Amino acid sequence: MRVRNWLISLFAMPFALASGCAATSVESPQEARLASLTAAQKAQLEAHISQWFGGIAIKLADNAFTQSSTLTIERRAHTDSRGLPIEGRHDNPAFAFTLLKQGEACLLNNDNSGEQVELTDVECIVVDK
């Protein structure tokens, strides 16, 4: 009798574990945009992006992430006294960021490094494709 109960529990264990994992599956993140952009939300976005740039001050447009789920930032080219680029074109890399929604959370993704940060007090809307 003990051997039979032991065998039943041995075979039942993988099914119990598998069903437990399925019940706790996490929703995959989807591209999103902001419903609106307040000054506090803009400051939060600028602070996170600035941190990824090593503390360099970042200034975003007043409609950042409200029209699109992506944002691209290029470093300013070196210019002469007339404002013309030195040595013609620049080879500064572009940095891309994507706004994502996962469940109720709104995430800012650094596309270059893969890092993500959860935004607080921000309402995201999933982008229809």
Strand partners, 124: 34
126 backbone dihedrals φ, ψ, rounded to 5°: -65, 135
Task: Output the pLDDT for position 127.
Answer: 87
Q: What is the pTM of this model?
A: 0.70
Cα separation, 99 vs 71, whole angstroms: 8
Residue 125: which residues within 8 A CB-CB, separation 6 or more? 32, 33, 34, 35, 101
Task: Output the pLDDT for position 128.
Answer: 81
Model pLDDT for residues 10-52, shown as the tens digit of each residue: 555 565 555 554 555 578 999 999 988 999 999 999 999 999 9
Please check whether residue 66 is in contact with residue 33, taking contact to mean a CB–CB distance below 8 angstroms: yes
Q: Has residue 75 been placed in a domain? A: yes
Task: Output the pLDDT for position 88.
Answer: 62
Task: Output the pLDDT for position 9.
Answer: 57
Q: Has residue 5 been placed in a domain? A: no
Q: Has residue 4 been placed in a domain? A: no
Task: Output the pLDDT for position 79.
Answer: 80
Q: Has residue 3 been placed in a domain? A: no
Q: Has residue 22 been placed in a domain? A: no
Q: Which residue has the higher pLDDT, 9 or 36?
A: 36
- Domain residues for the domain of 92 are 27-126
Q: Has residue 8 been placed in a domain? A: no
Task: Output the pLDDT for position 4.
Answer: 55
Q: Give the chain's domain count.
A: 1
Model pLDDT for residues 70-119, shown as the tens digit of each residue: 999 887 777 888 887 777 666 677 899 999 999 999 999 999 999 999 99
- Give the pairing type, strands 124-126 and 116-119: unpaired
